[in-house]
Amino acid sequence: MSTATQRIDFDEIKHAVSMSEIVTYLSIPGLKQKNPRQWKGNCPFCKGIDCFVVSDDGGRDKTGAFNCFKCPAGGDQIELVSLMRGHPRKDPKGALAAAKELHEKFLGRRGGEAPNRSDTSPQPQREKRQGFDAETYAKTLDPAHEALAGFGIDAEIFRAWKAGYASSGVNRGRLALPIATKEGRVLGYMGRTVKDESPVLTFPNGLSPQEHIFGIDRVTGGSLYLLRDPIDVLKAFEAGYENVVCFLTEEITSLQLECLAALMDERKCESLSFF
């Protein structure tokens, strides 16, 4: 590994911080969202008109890329931040500074800066969760555990969704499923019972089931399918459906419907089918 001197992993950053987050973070003037995963506008570097494209799923590993058709600017999240901070192209020092900046901003001790919008009451537990390390937690889960066999879902599907059986922690004895923002940041894990027991879903402190939609981060344009349970979402995904989501509550409030409507609007989903 080339990260001997720093505890900063470029690959980790590229996987953890999406281009859409970078676009928001940098607020590049004149950049317009063309579709859920693409932005287009004037190049901030050569000032060319409409030649600059940023995509959420571009690049070799589909972790995001940007490109200018008129100048040589192009690359990943780190290169974009480096260039925006005035460093030359492909500058190792600039890249390290940009990686540090992104690490601090998005992966570092997030306890101190509280990027939350919807908090009402401060809870001690919440601070713990802000430092939640989804990557590390996902590694403790077993997607192929025998307790999950009853779902009839392939272990690869659980793995693809960063889900799995939890043998320890608050979700112990349950299927742990990520709760993600629409940008794909995993905020925590809920526990889905693997038996016939109530409650079906349990949530970590500070994460309100009303505020989240399972599968939201994977929605692209087209038809949207609303199912009843995260398990149904995974099964539909396994069957080849995309754009499948579910609410995490038994009863649905108008606020939840508004969130879904806003998502459909933003991601250009023209229809909704409910099952």
Rounded Cα distance, 266 and 142, in Å: 34
Rounded Cα distance, 17 and 64, in Å: 9
User: Restricting to residues 196-215, which ones interact with Zn ion according to CB under 5 A?
Assistant: none
**What is the total residue count of the chain?**
275
Q: Which is nearer to Zn ion, 41 or 164 (CB)?
A: 41
Spatial contact of 107 and 98, defined as CB atoms under 8 Å apart: no
Per CB under 5 A, 48 contacts Zn ion: yes
Q: Which is nearer to Zn ion, 28 or 43 (CB)?
A: 43
Per CB under 5 A, which region of 73-81, 89-97, 135-143, 202-210 contacts Zn ion? 73-81
Per CB under 5 A, which region of 6-14, 34-42, 72-80, 150-158 contacts Zn ion? 72-80
DSSP string, 236-268: HHHTT--SEEEESSSS--HHHHHHHHHHHHHTT
Per CB under 5 A, 71 contacts Zn ion: yes
Question: Residue 38 CB: number of other CB atoms within 10 A?
Answer: 16
Minimum CB–partner distance for residue 267 and Zn ion (Å): 28
**Count of residues of this chain found to bind Zn ion when the rule CB under 5 A is applied:** 8
Please give the structure tokens belonging to residue 251.
């009863």
Q: Which residues contact 268 (CB under 8 A, 6 or more apart)?
A: 35, 36, 221, 222
Q: Which of 105, 97, 102, 130 minimizes the C-alpha distance to 116?
A: 130
User: Restricting to residues 245-264, which ones interact with Zn ion according to CB under 5 A?
Assistant: none
Instruction: Please select the residue that binds Zn ion; options are 13, 23, 43, 224, rule is CB under 5 A.
Output: 43
Per CB under 5 A, 68 contacts Zn ion: yes
Per CB under 5 A, which region of 41-49, 192-200, 209-217, 242-250 contacts Zn ion? 41-49
| CA angle 17–18–20, rounded 5-degree value | 130
Q: Which is nearer to Zn ion, 45 or 132 (CB)?
A: 45
Per CB under 5 A, 28 contacts Zn ion: no
Q: Which is nearer to Zn ion, 46 or 84 (CB)?
A: 46
Per CB under 5 A, which region of 47-55, 91-99, 126-134, 253-261 contacts Zn ion? 47-55
Positions that interact with Zn ion (CB under 5 A)? 43, 45-46, 48, 68, 70-71, 73
